[in-house]
Amino acid sequence: MRQHEIHRKTHETEIRTALNLDVPEPVAVYTQLPLFTHFLAALAKHSHLSWQISGQGDIEVDPHHLIEDTGIVMGQALRGALADMRGIHRFGQRLLPMDDALILCALDISGRGQLYWSGSFPDRPINGVNAEVWPEFFRAFASHAGITLHLVCQAGENAHHTYEAAFKALGQALYEAVQVGPSTDVPSTKGVL
């Protein structure tokens, strides 16, 4: 089974994540930030993967620590669950509409973690959470998962719709990329990822 579990505790946060790439359910997500829980639940649901995520942190200081650290731990869980990456499709993409929002997500499980964030993402807080924290989540996730991640806002007026669409698009692109095809080779001409 392609699965992995991580527990990370710092002076600022405590995050637990378990991921199983071969079982579509169950999904269980809880953080101290209802908006973040909502976004993570959307990612998990649309990835069709079994995510178990719980996180708490010093949100009275700033939600940034909890959001970024959750991205770190989720990325580590994905990297661990992928193991040697044999047979995976490697690439995933999704153009995802959500009402006024249109998000392009394209990713490569390359072993080289990097976020490329572009387009006109709304720069407004949602329920008191500043927009600047959302790219920090995706950057931490990409870096620790070892994936090249492009997220492009092609349209979006409503901040909630736009960021939720980004989480959903990542979930769907991930599902495509982690699927195992007929080959048992590592999907790289180098022989390693």
The residues with which 15 forms a beta bridge, in sequence order, are: 8, 55
The pLDDT value given to residue 148: 98
The predicted model scores a pTM of 0.94
Consecutive H or E run containing 44: helix 34-47
Give the residue from 115, 102, 107 showing the smallest Cα distance to 166. 102
Q: Which residues have CB under 8 Å from 171's CB, separation 6+?
A: 42, 43, 44, 45, 46, 47, 48
User: What mean pLDDT comes out for the span 17-41?
Assistant: 94
What residue ranges define each of the domains in the chain, with the CATH number in brackets? 3-178 (3.30.230.40)
> pLDDT tens for residues 111-169?
999 999 999 999 999 999 999 999 999 999 999 999 999 999 999 999 999 999 999 99
Q: Cβ contacts of residue 128 below 8 Å, gap of 6+? A: none
Mean pLDDT of the chain: 94
